Structure 1
Amino acid sequence: MDGDEVVIIGAGICGLATALALHKKGIKAVVMERSESLRNVTGAAIGIRPNGWRALDQLGVAEILRRTAISIQWQMKKRK
């Protein structure tokens, strides 16, 4: 690698978000992932809190996620 480059280990949500943020700042990043392919995990979900949405807004990807995401409303039942 030449110049200012960053190596990011893991192509999960955090690794890819970090790479995108660095790219927007003009910093080159290489993302390395151990897995050879994407895995489909049945029943998996990602919960994003308000601060997470603000970060995704800053990265410019929140709007497309809002259009494609499924909102899940969860309520706890009161104990008697």
Structure 2
Amino acid sequence: MDWFPIVFVIFKLLVLGTGMFFAVKWHYEQGKKENGKAKRAAVLRATAKAVAAFVLALLGLALFTFVLVRVFHLDLPFSFP
């Protein structure tokens, strides 16, 4: 049962990473179709904002989890048996 979180997290990262890659690729290609540098810059700026929001949300979730672990005095060792 200890292997499930490891496999699940790796799978989740692969799925989210693939989805983000294709989303960015699609938006980039849409901007390229317009043949305008302003459109390309807008797509790159929107991509940077989306990545920044995702990273901030991820850090916020990690902080929230850390606080909950401390508040409830949970013992979660980082070592494997």
TM-score by length of 1: 0.29
TM-score by length of 2: 0.29
* Structure with bigger RCO (C-alpha 8 Å, 6+ apart): 1
Larger radius of gyration: 2
